[in-house]
Chain A
């Protein structure tokens, strides 16, 4: 963890902190590769058996380093902004939280160097802009007993959004669920900028399954689910996905996915299964705001 150098100090959590966090997290997400991605690419290169795929992994590792060393955008597609806000129950909030995110993203658009292109799209007219209805997409959760607010930023573009899918099953077996995950993997094929991280959300309601799938995809690579049954599922699904052979950059190889993360919620006999992907960059940044208003960038 590191406290933002020169960052402002606030006396409570409100508009100003959320504006600052929204601005800085997005900018960092475009120019920074998570540490777990660096590690996972290096590990994959060691075990990859396809020579072209090994070249691709080595190339991506170089791109990741150059991106950070030169403070460049890894991808031209800045996507659209999504933030997950986890509110500790021991903090005091005040002011316009949503407005903070809207203004923070707008400030990022105005100040980021190099600039970003217009990707926010009106779904009915397909017109593009830097803003739009319900932008940024915010989702909220609570952390019992915590004296901080955690904000996770995840820009969404084609590789991290286009290939997500959800289906509702009635009393599915594990075989049904895992076959559906593989169906989604086959449909995405080479197109989601592999090697990807895959998030699988099972159970609860329609919206909850998507939410926990997204949360799972943002879990750091290398952290298994705490329940052995789910951790085993993650392990065998990763082996299954990588047996398909789509490979890094989708041109063949053993490394189609760097991780499969699964989570579940209890629900009814009908069981939604949501599957989502994050492209190789695995864009994800996280900050915490203490109850005193101090901002710390976690990653």
Chain B
């Protein structure tokens, strides 16, 4: 479900998201998430998830179609696990694993910062999923949309590497960085920057001649 609830100009998106809802999101659209989402920033976590995707074992927590790259630091209060702070990490670090994970776990919502590579974009198109771009270095804003941590798996790992599910309410603002139709803001910007580069270098030369 997604609706324009006027959350600071952002569209409210309920997790888990069906492929049809994901396909309805527009590239560059600003959204806020509601529901449950599972996160990690662990390299070793991705290795374990990759092994599960290849048939070795089971995931310790259900993904329910959502998996984002986010570091988290929590504390216990009144029997609940609450966030000190949360913040994304660079998603391309996990490009080798993500296409398999997206397809195997039917991930309709992934996210992090900085975008993902073309193989991940293709996998999202196949399953009907999107990549949500989180603002980096905006922990206070993002944390305000996190209600509590509801479960963790692989607890032998350090906190931010565990597979952790959070309940969120208005988590964001996020931007649809990759849509479910094979379009990526990051790829478009990189192509445009490469197209501009010859003119940029010419302008540098012109200014060097003038100086």
Query: Which residue of chain B has its CB nearest to the CB of A126?
Result: B43
Query: Which of the candidate stretches B15-23, B87-95, B99-107, B163-171 sits at the interface with the other chain?
Result: B87-95
Q: Which of B60-76 contact A (CB under 8 A)?
A: 71-73, 75
Query: Which of the candidate stretches B49-57, B121-129, B147-155, B187-195 sits at the interface with the other chain?
Result: B187-195
The answer to whether A174 touches B136 (Cβ under 8 A) is no
Chain A interface residue bracket vs B: 35 or more
Could you name 11 residue pairs across A and B whose Cβ atoms are closer than 8 Å? A52-B175, A77-B71, A118-B158, A182-B204, A189-B186, A189-B189, A189-B193, A240-B204, A243-B199, A244-B196, A245-B192
Query: Is A72 in the interface zone, CB < 8 Å from B?
Result: yes
Count residues of B near A (Cβ-Cβ below 8 Å).
52
The answer to whether B204 touches A178 (Cβ under 8 A) is yes
The answer to whether B85 touches A245 (Cβ under 8 A) is no
Query: Is B24 in the interface zone, CB < 8 Å from A?
Result: no
Q: Looking at the complex, which one of A117, A162, A182, A281 makes contact with B90 (CB distance below 8 Å)?
A: A162
Query: Is A35 in the interface zone, CB < 8 Å from B?
Result: no
Q: Looking at the complex, which one of B75, B139, B158, B194 makes contact with A73 (CB distance below 8 Å)?
A: B139
Query: Is A166 in the interface zone, CB < 8 Å from B?
Result: no
Q: Which of B179-211 contact A (CB under 8 A)?
A: 185-186, 189-190, 192-194, 196-197, 199-201, 203-205, 207-208, 211
Query: Is A75 in the interface zone, CB < 8 Å from B?
Result: yes
The answer to whether A193 touches B137 (Cβ under 8 A) is yes
Determine the distance from Cα of A119 to Cα of B160 in the docked complex, in whole angstroms.
10
Determine the distance from Cα of A63 to Cα of B211 in the docked complex, in whole angstroms.
39
Knowing A63-B141, A75-B87, A117-B158 touch, does A250 contact B186 (C-beta < 8 A)?
A: yes
Provide the A99-123 mask, 1 if CB < 8 A to any CB of B, else 0.
Answer: 0000000000000001111100000
User: Distance (Å) between the CB of A46 and the closest chain B CB?
Assistant: 20
The answer to whether B85 touches A251 (Cβ under 8 A) is no
Query: Which residue of chain A has its CB nearest to the CB of B160?
Result: A117
The answer to whether A63 touches B140 (Cβ under 8 A) is yes
Looking at A59, A76, A246, A249, the one whose CB has the most chain B CB atoms below 10 A away is A76
User: Distance (Å) between the CB of B82 and the closest chain A CB?
Assistant: 11
The answer to whether B137 touches A280 (Cβ under 8 A) is yes
Query: Which residue of chain A has its CB nearest to the CB of B199?
Result: A243
Report how many A-B pairs have Cβ atoms within 8 Å: 164
Knowing A77-B87, A244-B193 touch, does A229 contact B141 (C-beta < 8 A)?
A: no
The answer to whether B137 touches A75 (Cβ under 8 A) is yes
User: Distance (Å) between the CB of B171 and the closest chain A CB?
Assistant: 14
Determine the distance from Cα of A66 to Cα of B193 in the docked complex, in whole angstroms.
33
Extra A-B contacts (12), CB below 8 Å, given A179-B204, A249-B133: A59-B135, A179-B201, A182-B197, A189-B115, A189-B193, A191-B90, A193-B137, A232-B211, A237-B204, A244-B196, A245-B189, A251-B133
Q: Looking at the complex, which one of A116, A186, A239, A252 makes contact with B197 (CB distance below 8 Å)?
A: A186
User: Distance (Å) between the CB of A252 and the closest chain B CB?
Assistant: 6
The answer to whether A193 touches B211 (Cβ under 8 A) is no
Q: Which residues of B contact A224 (CB under 8 A)?
A: none
Query: Which residue of chain B has its CB nearest to the CB of A175?
Result: B205
The answer to whether B139 touches A74 (Cβ under 8 A) is yes
Q: Which of A122-139 contact B (CB under 8 A)?
A: 126, 128
Determine the distance from Cα of A117 to Cα of B143 in the docked complex, in whole angstroms.
16
Determine the distance from Cα of A247 to Cα of B185 in the docked complex, in whole angstroms.
11
Q: Looking at the complex, which one of A115, A250, A252 makes contact with B84 (CB distance below 8 Å)?
A: A115
Knowing A162-B90, A186-B193, A229-B211 touch, does A74 contact B204 (C-beta < 8 A)?
A: no
The answer to whether B204 touches A117 (Cβ under 8 A) is no
Determine the distance from Cα of A239 to Cα of B202 in the docked complex, in whole angstroms.
12
Determine the distance from Cα of A91 to Cα of B173 in the docked complex, in whole angstroms.
50
